[in-house]
Amino acid sequence: MLINTLLVINITLMYAAPLLLAGLGGVISEKSGVVNLALEGIMTIGAFTAAWIAFATGNVWLGLMAGGFAGALLATFHAISTVIFKANQTISGVALNFIGPGIAVFLSRIVFGAVRSDPVTARMPRLLSDVFGGIFDDMAVTDNLILTMLNVDVTFFIALVLCAFMYIFLYKTKWGLRVISIGEHPAAADALGINVNKVRFYCVIASGVLAGFGGSAYTLSIVSVFSPPVISGAGFIALAAVIFGKWTPHGLLGACLVFGFFQALSILLGGQNLPVPLQVITMMPYVLTIVILVLFVGKSLAPKSLGTPFEKGSH
């Protein structure tokens, strides 16, 4: 029972990390008033780029940075279309959800000769075995087994630090308060001399970087290979977590842990001889996404100007 519990915790944190990273991107973009439905496509291009660079260089940190950079490039198109040209934010996001995977598959065929990349041998370090070295080597076999279950990928701690930073930025700094004011009442922020469209543009780019990191976490920490279904709706789950978490970093963290737990549960139950089809167990996280949206979308208060382009001089 203890080992199974620790295994659930390990898998929960592993799958919560990319959702938290992408969700933070959704928070910063939507707090400024720009809907970013493109998280799925951005995560996919980030996942491919991270796998490509990590495979070519053998350095996971370069892969992670490259994934964030690729995410920023794709998010730039969303920022240009929605902030500068005032295009419909939903349509722009949906379009990028097709463009991102399409570019990733196209480049994968050029680089690897197939839609699936070669395995990435380098992977993100784990907290106990790689960061702290051999401190625990002399412990008993049982202790080592338990420590293995707790040997969490550092990607989760990176996401946790970024979550704390996002909270401090939004609620404890003047720049973060400007972002919130723009999302709530852009006309008032403009009257105070804040460049609304400039701030929104930067927030969308930051959203792309974070979502790119989220996609990178899949290919550098979880599956160690890129393939078209690698993200498998994680971007939409991250968006659901943003809503469930009421557009706050701390609320998002709790939501991602819930989604990660159900992902871990589906993995563990899938290996058991249960009188339930495997497909039913596998779709548990996605059913949970729909249920949470139905139950909480009406109770969550989104930023008031979310989805509304800003025209200078408007009220």
Say which CATH number the domain at 158 has: 1.10.3470
302 belongs to a structural domain = no
314 belongs to a structural domain = no
Query: Do residues 8 and 221 make contact, with C-beta atoms less than 8 angstroms apart?
Result: no
**How confident is the prediction for the chain on average, in pLDDT?**
88
Number of structural domains found in the chain: 1
262 belongs to a structural domain = yes
187 belongs to a structural domain = yes
Query: Do residues 244 and 19 make contact, with C-beta atoms less than 8 angstroms apart?
Result: no
**What whole-number percentage of the chain has pLDDT above 90?**
64
72 belongs to a structural domain = yes
Mean pLDDT of the 262-288 span: 77
Residues in Cβ contact with 191 at an 8 Å cutoff, skipping those fewer than 6 apart:
none
Higher pLDDT, 140 or 7: 7
Phi, psi (deg, nearest 5) at residue 50: -65, -45
DSSP conformation class of 113: S
Is the pLDDT confidence value at 145 over 90?
A: no
Higher pLDDT, 239 or 315: 239
**Of the candidates 241, 306, 314, 301, the residue with the CA atom closest to the CA atom of residue 22:** 241
Q: What is the pLDDT of residue 142?
A: 45
Is the pLDDT confidence value at 300 over 70?
A: no
Is the pLDDT confidence value at 106 over 50?
A: yes
Structure token pair of residue 6: 């620790």
315 belongs to a structural domain = no
Domain that holds residue 231: 2-296
DSSP conformation class of 38: T
DSSP conformation class of 132: S
The amino acid that residue 308 corresponds to is T
- The confidence band for 146, taking pLDDT boundaries of 50, 70 and 90, is low
Phi-psi region of 113 (alpha: psi -120 to 50; beta: other; left: phi over 0): left
192 belongs to a structural domain = yes
175 belongs to a structural domain = yes
C-alpha to C-alpha distance for 215 and 211, rounded to whole angstroms: 6
Is the pLDDT confidence value at 259 over 70?
A: yes
78-87, 155-164, 225-234, 270-279, range with the lowest pLDDT: 270-279
Q: What is the pLDDT of residue 263?
A: 86
Q: Where are the alpha helices (DSSP H) in 125-195?
A: 141-149, 154-172, 174-184, 186-191
Tokens 């930051």 belong to 206
